[in-house]
Structure 1
Amino acid sequence: MKRPNVLFLTVDQLRTDALGCYGGTWSKTPNIDALAAQGVRFEQAYAAAPECVPSRTTWLTGRYPLQHGSYNNHYLRFPDTRPLLYRAASDAGYTVAMLGKTHYRPELTESDRINVFWPYWNTNVTKGADVWRAPSRMANETLEALLVRAFDATVAFSARAYGPDKPWFVHLSFVNPHPPNLCEHLPIGWQPLPEQRCPALRLTPAEWNEQTDNFAPFHMYERTCYGATVEYVDAMVGEALKIVNLETTFLLFTSDHGDMLGDHGVKQKSVFFDAAWRVPLVLAGAGVELRSGASETHFACGADVPMTLRRVMSAPLSPGHRGVDLRKKTDVARNKECRGFLMTFKGEMLMGLVNATHKIVINRSTVINVFNRTPGVDPYEMNSLV
């Protein structure tokens, strides 16, 4: 029997409450919602760290930041000599493609790569504009549309070159809704996102790397564009789903982290509030043992993502590989808590620990915040117990 094709579909900086299937009301996401209805949605999924590089490096290695050494987007003790996700997929007999954002470090130097992306981006996409201040000058065909076309060509090439019986593994990695949120045309009647839910709590430079007490009009425009970009990403997810047959393809959808969007007076990420740390995670298609349309309330952690992908492909595991197979109810039930790690720009190691009743954020020696996670008590993490 042919093993399933595997689509690892990821987005960047997508908070859970931006999606209808997670209770969101300020963006319309019919395609991701439909995918969740066909598969299994994890309510309590947390990234390995609320920042790009450490979270994505966990996908690559199957190990937590304290093991692989990438504590934030800049601090690095990587690479690892053990087989990484893509090599493991190839060793398991899969045709492998990685399309879109990687953000692994160390990156190749200019002399080691053919630099075709940035000239194309600067000339054909941004048309020379500063995209952080002039998003309206973006070209109509943005990166996600190009990636979907590349995905279609990759699937066709695999069938043509290797035959229909050789399975493929594709990591399709969308860049949006990571800022700058590039919306040439906002939807008609679009309303800004809700005001940030609460004032800043006790903030220390070692804990938060971005803070703002109030929002200038441009920041409110950014928030509006974020919601519109989520709708655009959802449309591109829908286009990608047209290419695959979920009867023969296993699909895992998730994000590397969320986005604060001004909640608690904080922008972007790198903090252990749920808006930045908690992520959407959906399994669908071939090989999913849990009931379709189910909402799984056990925890899912960043290391569970590569473990699940490797188990689906019968790919080899590296020594020290963490995580459980999220397809299996008995394995998922073993996740009693989730841990996240982050080294901030001040060199202060932070750890977040969350379980069914509480969340605690600490540095090397000090408890910073403790939140009560009892349903209905403090859903927006406004009241620290310390």
Structure 2
Amino acid sequence: MRRPNFLIIVTDQHRADYLGCYGHPVLRTPHIDALAARGTRFERFHVASPVCMPNRASLLTGRYPSAHGLRLNGGVLPARASTFVELLRQEGYRTASLGKSHVQPMTNKPAENRERPDMAKLDAWKDDGADYTREQPHHYQGIERHAFPTPYYGYDEVDMVTFHGDQAGGHYLQWLRAQRPDADQLRDPAHQLPHGYTCPQARRTPIPEELYSTSYIRNRAVDFLQRARGAEQPFFAFVSFPDPHHPFTPPGRYWSLYDPADFSVKLPYEAHHNPPPPMRWCREQLLRGARHLQGPHDGFFATEQELREAMALTCGMISMIDDAVGDIMRALDDNGLREDTVVVFTSDHGDYLGEFNLVLKGALASQAITRVPFIWSDPQKPGLAPVTSSALASTIDIAPTILARCGIVPYHGMQGRSLLPCLDGQASVQDDLLVEYQDNRARQGFAQAACVRTLVTERHRLSVYKGEAWGELYDHQEDPQETRNLWDSPSYHALQSGLTQQLLHKMLEAVDPSPRTRYNA
């Protein structure tokens, strides 16, 4: 029996409720909604880590960041780490990564050791000698396409896109320069088109829609599917869009597709009864006029107008992705591939995007940044009605689910669980989830780089912050929007203690079981 094809579509910094099928009141995403209508939509899907690189590595390995080694942005997924894509390749799959990969650094700027400059050159791990520069800018100068060495974490074919918005690089930038000699001027924020938006990092790019990174990735995916037509070999294609991650740069008509006046801040800062210290610190930075607004990772406190604009522009970027998804699905149909292809849609993490007046992401482990969309659209799904699953699920579950779907045994040390039993909307395979977060420097009022562990259960969310006397505890049944932190409430001390013990056991469960013992002691 022929194994199915897999088309995995991933967006960047895309919270779950920013899709039509997840209930957004303004955003229109008919093509992604159509995937949900033909498949299973998971309501309680969370990332393994709410930051790009660690969670992308968790998707590839089916393992927690603390196990696979890429724990924070700026690190690398070790070359010796196994990926499920390698297993697919070994079993005869044609494998391709089209778009943003981000399991190696996208910059060549050395990290600063802010806390211990004297320790900058010392590390517990020796350099393994592997080349971890493959996503860095110096490979993508000029217009002559960089010959990317493969296999790359199991991918036979790589079309690399790095960074975000109108600053996207990699093979895309080389292609853009070949199309437009003035490409670097188009990407220069100093040459953006006029607009009246005040939102930080909102830039009206002059890059035409057809030359924007979303269109480029769409075209590469369509080309790949055309080449797969009639092939005996099954394929696995990872199609990864850098949007809607900031900067907010929807091109052409997508800039004005949504009106900021149609959006509202439904969960302002004032809605939180006892805001945790980082939230208060971010607000104080706004009041003092000391916000850090241009960093790629620093969540900050924003005004209502800034948030409305960020929401509208984010929706513009998502709508462009949705149109691209429509074109990709038509290519599946046109090339006779739809009935043999499992399509998955998800994202690497979310965005506060107005929650308590915050925007972007950070250490505060709210559902806005840990809960993302996950849609599994399978041609073998029985029945025509869409299915919604309330089962708790994680990014680490994607790899074992794909392997189970094509009958391949996972390698030793894979920590996720197959979600195939959950596709009918009835079953569940786990009672709780672990979310890991580790920062690479101190920010948002933390005295040291934040290290956070979060437990998500059927009813509660508990977050413990290393070195901090405070923590977070929320009851989702009584307080689904997490507006009342129960951490210090005397009547919840027993619950906090029990959940902390449950978190400890979940962390013990996440301890790396690989490699196997080679010999008896």
- Greater shift, 64-73 or 96-105, is seen at 64-73
- Residue correspondence of structure 1 range 266-345 to structure 2 within 5 A: 266-270=358-362, 271-288=364-381, 292-329=385-422, 333-344=428-439, 345=441
1:129 matched to 2:188: yes
- Greater shift, 175-184 or 61-70, is seen at 175-184
Distance in 2 (alpha carbons) for counterparts of 1:110 and 1:190:
35
Distance in 1 (alpha carbons) for counterparts of 2:46 and 2:383:
19
**Residues 244, 314 of structure 2: 8 Å contact kept:** yes
Map of 2:34 onto structure 1: 34
1:237 matched to 2:325: yes
Instruction: Measure how far apart 1:190 and its partner are.
Output: 6.3
Distance in 1 (alpha carbons) for counterparts of 2:384 and 2:53:
33
Instruction: Measure how far apart 1:99 and its partner are.
Output: 0.2
**Residues 68, 80 of structure 1: 8 Å contact kept:** no
- Residue correspondence of structure 1 range 107-118 to structure 2 within 5 A: 107-108=133-134, 114=146, 116-118=171-173
SS of residue paired to 1:247: helix
- Greater shift, 255-264 or 104-113, is seen at 104-113
Shift in CA distance, 189/267, structure 1 to aligned 2, threshold 3 Å: closer
Distance in 2 (alpha carbons) for counterparts of 1:64 and 1:116:
30
Instruction: Measure how far apart 1:126 and its partner are.
Output: 6.8
Shift in CA distance, 61/14, structure 1 to aligned 2, threshold 3 Å: same
Shift in CA distance, 80/336, structure 1 to aligned 2, threshold 3 Å: farther
Distance in 2 (alpha carbons) for counterparts of 1:308 and 1:290:
20
Deviations 1:61-112 (A, max 9, x none): 11001111222213x3631514313222211111111100011124425676
- Greater shift, 291-300 or 105-114, is seen at 105-114
Distance in 2 (alpha carbons) for counterparts of 1:191 and 1:55:
34
1:227 matched to 2:226: no
Instruction: Measure how far apart 1:307 and its partner are.
Output: 1.3
Shift in CA distance, 286/215, structure 1 to aligned 2, threshold 3 Å: same
> Any stretches of 5+ residues in structure 1 without a counterpart?
none
Deviations 1:127-168 (A, max 9, x none): 132274532423222212221221121122234xxx532111
SS of residue paired to 2:388: strand
SS of residue paired to 1:170: strand
> Any stretches of 5+ residues in structure 2 without a counterpart?
105-131, 141-145, 147-169, 193-200, 283-296, 443-448, 488-521
SS of residue paired to 1:276: helix
Distance in 2 (alpha carbons) for counterparts of 1:15 and 1:205:
19
Bigger relative contact order (CA 8 A; separation at least 6)? 1
Distance in 2 (alpha carbons) for counterparts of 1:211 and 1:96:
35
Q: TM-score, normalised by structure 2?
A: 0.67
Instruction: Measure how far apart 1:235 and its partner are.
Output: 1.4
Map of 2:501 onto structure 1: none
**Residues 265, 357 of structure 2: 8 Å contact kept:** no
**Residues 46, 302 of structure 1: 8 Å contact kept:** yes
Deviations 1:277-313 (A, max 9, x none): 1011011123447985111111111100111122223
Q: Choose 1 or 2 for highest CA Rg.
A: 2
Distance in 2 (alpha carbons) for counterparts of 1:116 and 1:214:
34
How many residue pairs match? The answer is 380
Map of 1:262 onto structure 2: 354
Deviations 1:150-194 (A, max 9, x none): 1121122234xxx53211110011111111222233127664422
**Residues 4, 286 of structure 1: 8 Å contact kept:** no
- Residue correspondence of structure 1 range 148-297 to structure 2 within 5 A: 148-159=218-229, 163-183=230-250, 184-185=252-253, 186-187=256-257, 191-195=261-265, 197-199=267-269, 201-204=275-278, 210-215=298-303, 217=305, 220-244=308-332, 245-270=337-362, 271-288=364-381, 292-297=385-390
Distance in 2 (alpha carbons) for counterparts of 1:362 and 1:70:
21
Identity rate, percent: 23
Shift in CA distance, 318/207, structure 1 to aligned 2, threshold 3 Å: farther
Map of 1:360 onto structure 2: 462
Distance in 1 (alpha carbons) for counterparts of 2:381 and 2:280:
41
Paired letter, 2:209: N
Paired letter, 1:384: N
